[in-house]
Amino acid sequence: MDKVRIAVVGLGNMGTATSKFIHDGSAPEATIAAVCDINPARLEWAKEALPEAERFGDFDEMLKNCKADAVYIATPHYFHPPMAIAAMKAGYHVLTEKPAAVYTNAVHEMIAAQKETGKIFGIVYNQRTNPMYQRIRQIIKNEELGEMRRLHWMITNWFRTQYYFNSCDWRATWKGEGGGVLINQSVHNLDLWQWMAGMPDRIMAHCYFGKYHDIEVEDDVSIFAEYKNGATAHFITTTGEAPGSNRLEIVFDRGKVVCEGDRLFVTSAKESVSRHIYEDSIGYGFPKFSTVEEHPEGKETAHAGIMSNFCRAILYGEELLAPGADGLYALSIVNATLLSAWKGNAWIDMPLNGDEFYDQLQAKIAASTVEKHGENILFDLEATEKLGSLGLK
């Protein structure tokens, strides 16, 4: 086998884009074997655009009959766990879009299925392919600038209009999407945060729900987090500001890193700032620093890069850049952030109590007054015979 045969489930925005770049050869290790969607119009599109692909309107039928090696899942969030688990148990490798799930308990079920079946399980955290973030991760892991002291990320360029939220009836509802800016847009940045700097020890957060849009979920968030070594982190995000910013600043004991736009600046000192505070004999004595703009080699390969890496893991045993199990970490931050807000900005210890979050989420769903819940799509997973009664909580 020199190519991995991919079955694409869900021909919305991401499923369509992924199908196109595989068809066009942008992920040379992959080929389209099948597509699956409940919308007949999307299958008609595939008939013309992807003539090499089998077409299915039923997921269970696809798993039983398609000639594929792996399943790529690009459906609404609540469907990711049951579809991934069913696919792995049916003998397929799985690559799922972000987020892995809406609540962490479901990710634990996905991880258990992967261990049981031995299948390759990946998640599309495409920004991990960015050389700048890879370089920052290297600086932190190797302690090139000493211990991390503070991380501040202002990521407010996720602007969305009301039309965006109205475009799909599952969006921006607790029942349909399970959250807002955290679980949909900023989950990429939350993943990068923990991938580069590790998971914080506890989280406190403030969320505004429907501050800028007519939605019931969060669209403006401020997170404060602490690490075991005393380092702190601040994360600010929204879908309601324009033009918005994307600025990451990480302070260390011997310097700092600033990443803004497509530029990376590294400031370093030979001496420890924490020692300088006590050892310098001048009241206003300032450590000596030097700043350079770094240009990490390589280019961001985004979704195609993640797909190629996933396929190479199947073909040659290459290490996954974004293992599916890693979907647990960013989602833990998402869930902890919402739980903190729901509990009056309380501290939430990590690892997260998944049962507590799940119960709170169900209460939000039950209390929702939003009429558009995506009734054209079945979200009651325990009653969905086609997806199986998987007992997900």
CATH node for 4-126+304-322? 3.40.50.720
Report the pLDDT value the prediction gives residue 382, as an integer from 0 to 100: 35
Of 3.30.360.10, 3.40.50.1370, 3.40.50.300, 3.40.190.10, the CATH number of 128-294 is: 3.30.360.10
C-beta separation of 195 from 129 below 8 A: no
d(CA 233, CA 199): 10
Q: Which amino acid is at 13?
A: N
pTM: 0.93
What gap in Å lies between CA 211 and CA 172, rounded to an integer? 13
Chain center to CA of 196: 14
Q: Pseudo-torsion of CA 284, 287, 292, 298, nearest 10°? A: -120
SS (H, E, C) the chain: CCCEEEEEECCCHHHHHHHHHHHCCCCCCEEEEEEECCCHHHHHHHHHHCCCCEEECCHHHHHHHCCCCEEEECCCHHHHHHHHHHHHHCCCEEEECCCCCCCHHHHHHHHHHHHHHCCCEEECCHHHHCHHHHHHHHHHHCCECECEEEEEEEECCCCCCHHHHHCCCCCCCCCCCCCCCCCCCCHHHHHHHHHHHCCCCEEEEEEEECCCCCCCCEEEEEEEEECCCCCEEEEEEECCCCCCCEEEEEEECCEEEEEECCEEEEEECCCCHHHHHHHCCCCCCCCCCEEEEECCCCCCCHHHHHHHHHHHHHHHCCCCCCEHHHHHHHHHHHHHHHHHHHCCCCCEECCCCHHHHHHHHHHHHHHCCCCCCCCCCCCCHHHCCCCCCCCCC
CA neighbor of 327 nearest in space, from 114, 59, 31, 68: 114
Q: Where do the domains of the chain lie?
A: 4-126+304-322, 128-294
Q: pLDDT tens track of the chain, all 393 residues?
A: 799 999 999 999 999 999 999 999 999 999 999 999 999 999 999 999 999 999 999 999 999 999 999 999 999 999 999 999 999 999 999 999 999 999 999 999 999 999 999 999 999 999 999 999 999 999 999 999 999 999 999 999 999 999 999 988 889 999 999 999 999 999 999 999 999 999 999 999 999 999 999 999 999 999 999 999 999 999 999 999 999 999 999 999 999 999 999 999 999 998 999 999 898 888 888 889 999 999 999 999 999 999 999 999 999 999 999 999 999 999 999 999 999 999 999 999 999 999 999 999 999 999 998 875 444 333 333 333 333 333 332
What pLDDT does 169 receive? Answer: 84
Length of the chain: 393
Sign of CA dihedral 38, 330, 297, 309: negative
Q: Which two tokens stand for residue 167?
A: 């475009």
Q: Measured between alpha carbons, how far is 153 from 234 in angstroms, rounded to an integer?
A: 6
- Which pLDDT score is estimated for 384? 32
pLDDT of residue 170: 86
Sheet holding 121-123, edge to edge: 54-56, 30-36, 4-9, 70-73, 93-96, 121-123
pLDDT at 372: 58
pLDDT value for 229: 96
